[in-house]
């Protein structure tokens, strides 16, 4: 096992550090920047079917569901197709409106999650075109879908998903851009700008790993005894906040909630005092001014602010108790980069608490029973 961990203390840390490579692998052969195209067999063969969908429903559980929420933002922004994101366990028991004009996308690392599988079968019976985004090749979900795209993140052993999540976001980015380009929603110039940025993501992830590893480790020491955490973000980074909170819950057993930053005033703000750590994702691109005022509201209530900002940020950084810098990118890709320091922060808090990081209590890597 030590050999499999490649010198890392846990599989989770190894998998966090594998992300520049896993994202690169996910893009390989698909993102052809020089030719100015995205080549994905699963989408390519069914472009019209997908682009003419009345709506797309994404079904998933856990971390994959968070990826689905970001997928909704991506597909609606670029492909302009209405998207709904559902927990597979809810979808399968509520007789949802699904017709032959629908496309249903299942996102699943393992490709074996019982609820996702059952939901997909139901969608298939209703005549929808079903598409899979799985990591495990030839898994049950991959086999029953009409088409799909693998994430190619490689085996993920740690129960808390890390590299599979960023690979899911990468595939969803490719799909959304491909659909958008085909539909004519994106000019050549805009498409080229976006795919060039996407190609640079593995490098940015490498940079963020290098630059935030030590600082997240240091910050984690101050929160070993925290009992609650709030994670806030807006736009594309709202689901990233949900995922950050889930990561912390899963492995450190600290209660954590993710929230859209502006919704804070409808509830969580009541919890803020000097004992409440608040992680806020505040990239330059993506409602920055709005986030600044959310941070001011937290500051006025003495919450402990851990801010994720882009390099050179001054406004949010000046109000924060802790600052984690990450490289700037278009808002639509920023969750891929911002998720990495959040994974590291959860990891180190859990390690300092002496938790079993790779196999947290009560959790399973793949939930094959209901």
Q: What amino acid positions are annotated as catalytic residues?
A: 365
- Shortest approach of ligand G6P to residue 321 CB, angstroms? 30
CB-nearer residue toward ligand G6P: 140 or 310: 140
Nearer to ligand G6P, 157 or 323 (CB): 157
Which of 110, 252 has the CB closer to ligand G6P? 110
Please say which residue, 117 or 276, places its beta carbon nearer to ligand G6P. Answer: 117
| Number of residues near ligand G6P (by CB under 6 A) | 16
Instruction: List the one residue from 62, 96, 132, 258 that touches ligand G6P (CB under 6 A).
Output: 62
In whole angstroms, what is the distance from residue 234 CA to residue 219 CA?
A: 23
Q: How far, in Å, CA of 208 to CA of 194, rounded? A: 20
Q: Does 61 bind ligand G6P (CB under 6 A)?
A: yes
Q: Which of 246, 299, 243 is nearest to 269 (CA)?
A: 299
| Residues in region 151-190 near ligand G6P by CB under 6 A | 159-161
Instruction: Compute the least distance from the CB of residue 367 to ligand G6P, in Å.
Output: 5
Quote the CA–CA distance of 131 and 145 in Å, as a whole number. 5
Q: What is the DSSP letter of 370?
A: -
The order of strands in the sheet holding 83-87 is: 83-87, 55-60, 102-108, 129-134, 147-150
Cα(56)–Cα(75) distance, rounded to whole angstroms?
Answer: 9
d(CA 292, CA 234): 11
CA-based R_g, the chain, Å: 20
Q: How far is the CB of 113 from ligand G6P (least distance, A)?
A: 3
Least distance in angstroms from the C-beta of 279 to ligand G6P: 20
Site pattern 102..131 for ligand G6P (x: CB under 6 A): ------xxx--x--x---------------
- Tokens linked to 226: 């925290």
Interface with ligand G6P by CB under 6 A: which residues? 61-64, 108-110, 113, 116, 159-161, 363, 365-367
């Amino acid at each position: 096992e030590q050999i499999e961990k490649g010198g890392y203390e846990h599989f989770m840390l190894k998998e966090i550090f594998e992300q520049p490579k896993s994202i690169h692998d996910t893009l390989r052969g698909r993102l052809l920047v020089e030719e100015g195209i995205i080549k994905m067999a699963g989408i390519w063969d069914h472009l019209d079917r997908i682009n003419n969908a009345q709506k797309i429903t994404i079904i998933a559980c856990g971390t994959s569901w968070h990826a689905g929420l970001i997928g909704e933002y991506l597909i609606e922004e670029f492909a302009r197709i209405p998207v709904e994101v559902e927990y597979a366990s809810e979808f399968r028991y509520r007789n949802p409106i699904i017709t032959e004009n629908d496309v249903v996308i299942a996102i699943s690392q393992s490709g074996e999650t019982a609820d996702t599988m059952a939901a997909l079968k139901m969608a298939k019976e209703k005549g929808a075109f079903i598409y899979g985004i799985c990591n495990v090749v030839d898994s049950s979900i991959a086999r029953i879908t009409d088409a799909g795209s693998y994430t190619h993140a490689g085996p993920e052993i740690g129960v808390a998903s890390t590299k599979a999540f960023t690979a899911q976001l990468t595939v969803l980015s490719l799909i959304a851009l491909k659909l958008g380009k085909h539909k004519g929603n994106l000019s050549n110039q805009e498409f080229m700008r976006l795919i060039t940025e996407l190609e640079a993501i593995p490098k940015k992830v490498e940079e963020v790993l290098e630059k935030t590893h030590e600082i997240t480790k240091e910050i984690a020491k101050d929160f070993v005894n925290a009992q609650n955490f709030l994670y806030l973000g807006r736009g594309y980074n709202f689901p990233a906040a949900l995922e950050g909170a889930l990561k912390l819950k899963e492995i450190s057993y600290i209660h954590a909630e993710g929230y859209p930053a502006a919704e804070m005033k409808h509830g969580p703000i009541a919890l803020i005092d000097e004992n409440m750590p608040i992680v806020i994702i505040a990239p330059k691109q993506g409602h920055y001014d709005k986030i600044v005022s959310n941070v001011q509201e937290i500051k006025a209530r003495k919450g402990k602010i851990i801010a994720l900002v882009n390099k050179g940020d001054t406004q949010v950084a000046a109000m924060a108790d802790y600052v984690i810098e990450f490289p700037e990118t278009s808002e639509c890709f920023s969750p891929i980069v911002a998720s990495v320091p959040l994974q590291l922060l959860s990891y180190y808090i859990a390690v300092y608490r002496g938790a079993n990081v790779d196999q947290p209590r009560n959790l399973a890597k793949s939930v094959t029973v209901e």
